[in-house]
Chains A and B, each alone.
Chain A
Amino acid sequence: EVHLVESGGGLVQPGGSLRLSCAASGFTFSTYSMSWVRQAPGKGLEWVSYISSSSSTIYYVASVEGRFTISRDNAKNSLYLQMNSLRDEDTAVYYCARAYCGGGSCYGSFDSWGQGTLVTVSS
Chain B
Amino acid sequence: DVQMTQSPSTLSASVGDRVTITCRASQSISSWLAWYQQKPGKAPKFLIYKASSLHSGVPSRFSGSGSGTEFTLTISSLQPDDFATYYCQQYNIYPWTFGQGTKVEIK
Question: Chain A residues in contact with chain B, CB under 8 A?
Answer: 35, 44-47, 50, 59-62, 95, 100, 107-116
Contacts of B28 in A (CB 8 A): none
Number of B residues, CB within 8 Å of A: 24
Q: How far is the CB of B88 from chain A (nearest CB, A)?
A: 10
- Residues on B close to A: CB < 8 A? 32, 34, 36, 38, 42-46, 49-50, 55, 87, 89, 91-92, 94-101
Shortest C-beta distance, B66 to chain A (Å), equals 15
In Å, the complex CA distance between A45 and B100 comes to 8
A100–B34 CA distance with the chains assembled, in angstroms: 10
Docked complex Cα distance between A89 and B32 (Å): 28
Q: Are B43 and A44 in touch, CB under 8 angstroms?
A: no
Across the two chains, which residue of chain B brings its CB closest to A99?
A: B91
Majority SS at the chain B contact face: loop
* Cβ-defined partner of A111 (8 Å) among B55, B95, B101: B55
Q: Select one of A59, A61, A108 contacting B32, CB under 8 A.
A: A108
User: Could you show 16 A-B contacts with beta carbons less than 8 Å apart?
Assistant: A44-B98, A44-B99, A45-B36, A45-B89, A47-B89, A47-B95, A47-B97, A60-B95, A100-B49, A109-B34, A109-B46, A109-B49, A110-B36, A110-B44, A115-B42, A115-B43
